[in-house]
Amino acid sequence: MVTLRGKTVAFLVAPEGAEQVELTSPWQAVVEAGGTPRPVSTRGGRVQAFNHLDRGDTFAVDAVVGEASAEDYDALVLPGGVADPDALRTDADAVGFVRAFFDTGKPVAAICHAPWTLIEADVVRGRSLTSWPSLRTDLVNAGARWADEQVQVCTDGPNALVSSRKPDDLPTFNDVLVTVFAKA
């Protein structure tokens, strides 16, 4: 059995807009593998998740990204939703936090629209990724190799990068991210 016992995983989300199932499903996978998920956001308090366009649940923030350090975490998950990564990619602290995981060689997992934040952090060049189909051109223009597959695992760089397309892919995405995070 794959275990994340002793590992702390950051989940970076904007104050509003994360697709709830893309936050909660990987979160549960980390918990079930014995890891500790920690929500990080651009401001304290609570974050508002969405079920597509409808408001979902709120979640307490553990750390504010401007005060957090990648050194405090073993891995990073970037949930999708359109609004979440769109807000994160315009926040310098969030972009720097993401880049720090690559600089320190720690694994990152991103689903759906989350690769927008990876593009802004300038960490996709020469790497293989998948995403929600509408991001294909953005990723290719940023130098990534894009494929329409459930999950891509790219180890052609300083760290392992797991990417996935959409909520339907979550079972496979969760299994792969737990396996990759366990090896790190």
Q: What is the tally of structural domains in the chain?
A: 1
Q: Give the CATH number for residue 19.
A: 3.40.50.880
Among 62, 54, 16, which residue's Cα sits nearest to residue 37? Answer: 62
Gap between the Cα atoms of 56 and 36, Å rounded: 23
> Domain for residue 139, yes or no?
yes
> Domain for residue 132, yes or no?
yes
pLDDT in tens, 68-78: 999 999 999 99
Measured from the Cβ of residue 67, the count of other Cβ atoms closer than 10 Å reads 9
> Domain for residue 172, yes or no?
yes
| Active-site residue set | 112-113
> Domain for residue 1, yes or no?
no
> Domain for residue 144, yes or no?
yes
Please give the full DSSP string across 112-140, using - where no structure is assigned: TTTHHHHHHTT--TT-EE---GGGHHHHH
Q: Which residues form the domain of 121?
A: 8-183
Average pLDDT, the chain: 97
Helix (H, G, I), strand (E, B) or coil at 1: coil
pLDDT in tens, 144-177: 999 999 999 999 888 999 999 999 999 999 999 9
Contact 39/18 with Cβ under 8 angstroms? no
Q: What is the pLDDT of residue 87?
A: 97
> Domain for residue 3, yes or no?
no
> Domain for residue 92, yes or no?
yes
Does pLDDT of 1 surpass 90? Answer: no
Angle at 87 between CA 130 and CA 84, to 5 degrees: 55
- Do strands 46-51 and 54-60 pair parallel, antiparallel, or not at all (unpaired)? antiparallel
Rounded to a whole number of angstroms, the CA Rg of the chain reads 14
